[in-house]
Structure 1
């Protein structure tokens, strides 16, 4: 009797977990189910093998057909499985290049010079960052509006009696003098601070808010591209003024214009006229086609597997944000050109897709 109940519980648990997995993946993306199904099937076969002796005893005693039906379904399901990683080695696409999302934020405070310097060792093709403007000087900062500076600097401690709601409330000098590293050591957002040496922790602790010009100098030194989002936070600024300030800063840096991957959609026509050497990146496939360009940048879950294969039509497809090896492996098999990642130090060591079959 105990064996019978153990078998029943094991089979029910296996079925429940399998159907839960299938429902969750199907709800989000049917194609992810196709890609991960082979490995789910391997796990199901292994589980059946482990409990087979108990189930056979129950089958012999009660003559139930449940186990036979479940077993047949699991062993035959590969006939219905399609996965992009079911390819021969010679047909495997080129490994996706890596774009450093705000630098290497697992190894250093995001959007600081330390973070971008750490990402250089990953062999990244581009730095991804976020740009805001103060006094016509572009600087690097993601959080904006009511969250401006609060998460990644010590602005509250530095100006306890002032209400800071936008960069209009500070001068550029005050922004650049803020500490942009201590929060990383205190909050440890990726549980990675323990991996840093004492020297690295001290360096992280002393980070400040960099200007775009500082990042351009680093990119120029290592021949690395720069792609950025533009956030307008100064109430008195205009889109045209912000764009002009950024283009002016880029041109004064004397960086190769081909290393600038221009993402902000506003004033794109003006930018093309002022700086014809910039490479233009689009977040929308239809907009890209209208402008007769060939570079796409979208969230990985917003583009179907077939669409990712646009690389075969000489269209580059960058997908963000990809941190896990399994997801990177899947997108590699599909043919993504590049991925924006927080974990460049991990993905750089992937020699072939983990799920390659």
Structure 2
């Protein structure tokens, strides 16, 4: 059985099924390729981690591709699959290489694996360059993630170090010179000390005894994972998540009626409606070329069922799919009726305000007028558009004024911020909450990120995944300091004892083999 396993390992790693002889001139190259394999494996795993963390904002990548290609494809999922395949391949190949070392099999990596490793290195380099050029702000998200994951990554590093120590000690005992032994052991001790003691430098808001209240949820365009975005079905679905506010996007039609639609500019209807079929030759028009009546003849839901942008359509019932297939473009008045009836607040982006000249000709004026006529309580409107803010406040002083940055808020005497989640760190969020400033952060879809912002003290988050976040009773990464310290010290001590035991066992085993070989050589040969 052992022989069969050995043959399989050799075949997978080197594609040579027969026993191999060690060649001194090839041993150096074999070690070099094993080092290269280890390097690419670490890069592939790191890249996979980055892709996993950035998945919260994967819609940005798909949206950027759509603006270029005019076709909706889940490109980010393709990147994720490629990254997962690459990381899995490198990891398995590295494990086979380590097993070769354990059983003392020559490390003759096959040329096909070498080609794939270079392709993997190129893929990671290309992805990293893409991040740096087109998505640089996402590195802030990766940095934030370490606040949540660092304590647990350290525990994983201790386990990995313990497993690798067997090979390190084997190399130490097999070294021919004292200088080589000192180098191996000193390097290992330095790395071990860094891994064992790095929790002293870890600062995670989720390691605390004083957990802030759970952030409230704001439905981003409703509940776009469960229904077509910015449709009445989507907002109704978000109410099932107990959201405190609807977040939407408002534009004005040709007849100056506010309607809900995220995409703006030319071809603003292409992604989410059937405008190409209903209005031939007009799919490149602006919002000012369509009346509200024309807009409401469009189907705004069929695209959702067909493209399945969040891979969530399969969770809908047959009736819900039929309902989603028949959604239309809603007016702002329709949403205000729903918000008023269910006592839900409303916050919105204004897409075309820059085209206006003067307040009474602006989108803000017509939208403020529509809100006032609806009879909704003014304090339920979180006014976000910065243009004509003071004019709006004179007409509707009861609106809650919401700001994009702290500087404008302080200059205006406000107390409500709406910012991207990566714009503020945990310490800044905590300071703002102490000043009684409400902090809403967008767009938060992943549990790890919601957990981190919960621990940091965010007032509310805007999310696509309200159906997931509503069921969380506590943050995923939360640990009390005493419990974490106990886990950290226990794992470090157990690891140190295991490594010390492995070192002594290998030392005694090597001494035993040495004495046995010496005694065999010292036995005199008997004359025949």
| Rg larger for | 2
Asked whether the equivalents of residues 353 and 364 of structure 2 are also in contact (C-alpha less than 8 Å), the reply is no
What is the CA-CA distance between 1:8 and the residue it aligns to? 7.1
Asked whether the equivalents of residues 228 and 262 of structure 1 are also in contact (C-alpha less than 8 Å), the reply is yes
Map 1:253-272 to 2 at 5 A: 253-272=374-393
CA distance change for structure 1 residues 204 and 19 in 2, over 3 Å: closer, same or farther?
Answer: closer
| Structure 2 counterpart SS, 1:107 | coil
1:337 to 455, 459, 465: 459
| Structure 1 counterpart SS, 2:441 | strand
Provide the residue aligned with 2:241 in structure 1: 122
1:179 to 299, 311, 319: 299
2:216 to 91, 97, 100: 97
CA distance change for structure 1 residues 231 and 343 in 2, over 3 Å: closer, same or farther?
Answer: same
Q: CA RMSD in A?
A: 2.9
1:350 to 452, 472, 489: 472
Greater displacement, 149-158 / 64-73: 64-73
Map 1:1-357 to 2 at 5 A: 28=140, 30=143, 32-62=145-175, 63=181, 64-65=184-185, 66-88=187-209, 91-134=210-253, 135-162=255-282, 164-232=284-352, 240-241=360-361, 242-309=363-430, 310-357=432-479
Asked whether the equivalents of residues 153 and 181 of structure 1 are also in contact (C-alpha less than 8 Å), the reply is yes
Asked whether the equivalents of residues 131 and 229 of structure 1 are also in contact (C-alpha less than 8 Å), the reply is yes
Asked whether the equivalents of residues 185 and 193 of structure 1 are also in contact (C-alpha less than 8 Å), the reply is yes
Give the structure-2-normalised TM-score.
0.62
Note the residue ranges of structure 2 that are not aligned, 5 or more in a row. 1-21, 51-127, 132-136, 176-180, 480-528
Greater displacement, 62-71 / 189-198: 62-71
What is the CA-CA distance between 1:45 and the residue it aligns to? 1.4
Encode CA deviations 1:148-207: one digit per residue, 9 max, x unaligned.
111111001111233542122222101011000000011111111111111110000000
What is the CA-CA distance between 1:58 and the residue it aligns to? 3.0
Distance in 2 between the 1:26 and 1:180 partners? 31
Encode CA deviations 1:283-307: one digit per residue, 9 max, x unaligned.
0211111110100001111223322
Give the structure-1-normalised TM-score.
0.90
Provide the residue aligned with 2:496 in structure 1: none
Greater displacement, 60-69 / 294-303: 60-69
The structure richer in helix per residue is: 2
Distance in 1 between the 2:168 and 2:44 partners? 18
The structure richer in strand per residue is: 1
| Structure 2 counterpart SS, 1:355 | coil
Encode CA deviations 1:83-108: one digit per residue, 9 max, x unaligned.
111211xx111111110000000000
What is the CA-CA distance between 1:80 and the residue it aligns to? 1.2
| Structure 2 counterpart SS, 1:228 | strand
Equivalent residues, number: 354
Distance in 2 between the 1:111 and 1:27 partners? 29
Asked whether the equivalents of residues 145 and 233 of structure 1 are also in contact (C-alpha less than 8 Å), the reply is no
Asked whether the equivalents of residues 152 and 181 of structure 1 are also in contact (C-alpha less than 8 Å), the reply is yes
CA distance change for structure 1 residues 72 and 39 in 2, over 3 Å: closer, same or farther?
Answer: same
Encode CA deviations 1:277-334: one digit per residue, 9 max, x unaligned.
1111000211111110100001111223322121111000111011110011111111
Distance in 1 between the 2:46 and 2:323 partners? 48
Encode CA deviations 1:4-27: one digit per residue, 9 max, x unaligned.
979978976786679877999995
Distance in 1 between the 2:240 and 2:138 partners? 38
CA distance change for structure 1 residues 236 and 176 in 2, over 3 Å: closer, same or farther?
Answer: farther
Distance in 2 between the 1:269 and 1:26 partners? 34
Distance in 2 between the 1:195 and 1:121 partners? 15
What is the CA-CA distance between 1:73 and the residue it aligns to? 1.2
CA distance change for structure 1 residues 82 and 301 in 2, over 3 Å: closer, same or farther?
Answer: same
Distance in 1 between the 2:353 and 2:346 partners? 21
Asked whether the equivalents of residues 168 and 234 of structure 1 are also in contact (C-alpha less than 8 Å), the reply is no
The structure showing larger relative contact order (alpha-carbon pairs under 8 Å, at least 6 residues apart) is: 1
Note the residue ranges of structure 1 that are not aligned, 5 or more in a row. none
| Structure 2 counterpart SS, 1:131 | strand
